[in-house]
Amino acid sequence: MDGSYNGWRNYQTWNVVLWIGSDYPVYRASLGYKTYPQPYLSLRQDLRDGMLGCTHTGDGVSLWDEGLDVEAIDAVIRES
């Protein structure tokens, strides 16, 4: 990954990846999405609609930010 923020496309993508990996309930939830065709999109929908009621990271980045590199986040979820 040769992005412009700590190796990621942007701050928002970096922050979401960091949040998924460091917020234990979110991390545990993400493990169940490894085999989904679109892991991140499925995870964020469930985080909002049922599991935790989350729409933003702890730092205030929207999980629906248009600048997110969803493919990179999917790769992180699949590799966890």
Q: What's the DSSP call for residue 7?
A: T
- How many angstroms separate the CA atoms of 28 and 60, rounded? 21
Three-class SS state of 73: helix
Look at the chain and count its residues.
80
pTM for the model stands at: 0.92
> Mean pLDDT of residues grouped by 10 in the chain (80 residues)?
81 98 95 98 95 90 98 97
CA distances from 50 to 2, 40, 64, 68 (A): 35, 15, 16, 22
- Amino acid present at 53: G
Question: According to the model, what pLDDT value does residue 3 have?
Answer: 61
